Structure 1
Amino acid sequence: MKSLESKRKKKSIRNFNIERLVRKNIRALKSYSSAREEFTAVGSIHLDANENSYGGPLEYNYHRYPDPLQKELKKKISTLKELSLKQIFLGNGSDEVIDLLYRVFCRPGKDHVIICPPTYGMYEVCAKINDVEVKRIPLQENFQLDISSILAGIDNYSRLIFICSPNNPTGNDFTRENVNEILEHFPGIMIIDEAYGDFSKQPSFIDMLGDHPNLVVVQTLSKAWGLAALRVGMAFAGETIIQWINKIKPPYNISGSTQELTLRGLEAKYSVDQKIRALQKERNFLTCSFLKFPDIIEKTYPSSANFLLVKTKAPKKIYSYLIQKGIVLRDRSAEELCEGCLRITVGTHKENQLLIEALENYQKS
């Protein structure tokens, strides 16, 4: 059985042709060459980039353009992820990564992508911005992938498939078996968005990159790492895909201050791991606490993320009540398969206790 799976993987790799997927205009594109790319050695007098030679008004030395390829930051990330520098792309948040994948691989007005709602809304927003059709193949009632419908929806114009695992807003993981089955039958690019992966017990899909040249794993430093304001998204893939994304990215898409602060943040992995464990504990606390409100909350869905999706009897009424108490949730009741649902981010223990107290008062009213 194992040898049969190995043969299938080899066949998939042999038949995959990334050049066929790259848009013709992108293949012909001559990338913009920035001053900091043309000269990478150490110079004492920089008169090449039209910067202000007298410096800026801040105490820090921000009058020079930053490293366009973020080499030092990628070195740190490569150590953490056990990948080569050539397998890493850094974007201005994951949203830039998503948008650039559309620009490389999807021909406007001709190709389409597949998404599995309910899921992260930016996949569809980016499609509309880039004039790319979206095939919506909903999750099953148990929030798992509808594999047969996904495979049936693939044709010669299918370019990207977006899978968010753990999924937003449902919070559940998708099985590696299902993901692998799609990968082996899909001649396009599959993106696994692991924005919430640090909170899950399931291993990252990064370890599948070596077997699947059409796989891109997207992660972020905004969630578990607590660096949302810095806007750093990460894409991990084979070297060829990374080369194509680098070819069309803006020259200085990650600011110098962001690179410096992110490097400092990545030194604190032990602290981050402690906070992840604390949030996992609080996730369990909330799940158990919600059982006290059968008249309000019908169901709390299992979650591998730092949020919970709860089915309520009066989502808009509960949402409005909590807003009045200064507690802000996300109303997801209008989304497919999420009728009556609110999405609740796991807070600190104090914040979670205040939420429970507010729900107790709501139940009494």
Structure 2
Amino acid sequence: MTTLDHGKYFTSLPREYYVSPEHFKTELDQVWARQWVYVGHISQIPKRGDYFTFELANESLLLIRDEGDKVNAVHNVCRHRALRLCDKPTGSVRKRLVCPYHSWSYALDGELKTATRQTDGENFDYSDFGLYKVHVDVWKGFIFVCLADEAPKPVASMIDEKSSADMDLIGPTRLKVAHEIVYDAEANWKLLLENGVECYHCPSVHPEFCVVLNAEEMSDYYDRDMVPEVVQGLVIPVKAELDSLSMDGSFVSKKLLGEFDKGVAIPAEFGAGFMTQPGYAWGGFHPDYGMVATTIPISATRTKMLCQWFVHEDAVEGVDYDVEELIKIWDVTNIQDLAIQERQQQGLSSSRYTPGPNSIDQEPGIRASLRLYLDMIGELEDSER
């Protein structure tokens, strides 16, 4: 008997892992601060000085474009009196970040350039008071950050060659965010993870999704292709006779992505994407569009989910695509999922809750993800490896 394995069956985690503030604090330190977290795409900061902010628990991070293609990430906290440097979600600065409180200024890489009326070296060295930096890895235009002192291995080294090659077909650096929604759920973030790595629930929860999704192939992916990596490739398969993951299986953007826009034949049952775990994000791409969702932990019982829909950078809204049609299949599905997770959280609050047996062939992804989670927080037993 272990945390997950109980003889012939396995379960999810005990109740306290989903309700305890103490467990939540441990997760922030041992999971979310140590792994690669998806935060956005380079199209959001196309020019030097462009920035966007990303909130993760109590941390506000500032993603900013420097010279050329370099993307920097720093804590959005002035080193003088702790003012948040940027209080808007997106924006642009010129050559420097300037604190609006006392006008301390920083280079776009976080180096302190001016402490107003305080000369470098007189009372302190500027070099000791630059903005705190965050590790950044840009993989095919997608931006990941890590808050740890030492960065994990590069994202590219975690993703298999086929997944990487499939992503190349969609021209991932030539995408743009066509729409964004932030969903709010009164549920623990691990419920979003567990729900996302199984399709056992798809027929009963997602009737619209199952019109176009190859649910059997999706379940086979979690049983056959999931690996114990923080980042890995992902395919969200549509039925063979359909073109894309949309309400009726047809394209929702006339302007196709990458090589397909140039006339390259679309491989049968094409799909591409990536997933992070246990801190959960997933991206699914089809010949005409893609969607990336990332979970953002707020508390032990509350989570936000940021969803971004991508189209070709030259696609024109109202001409090549309609936003309502573009987002519909995932918006419907996300709302259904989050309603279920909120009801789950209500059930988990009961003192009588104990985890029941999960399906070995329909929910193996849950065991794989939770083993990685337990390993990261130092609680994986040898028999669970």
Structure with the larger RCO, 1 or 2 (CA within 8 Å, 6+ apart): 2
Report TM bin, short chain.
under 0.3
Query: Greater helix percent: which structure?
Result: 1
Q: TM-score, normalised by structure 1?
A: 0.27
Query: Greater strand percent: which structure?
Result: 2
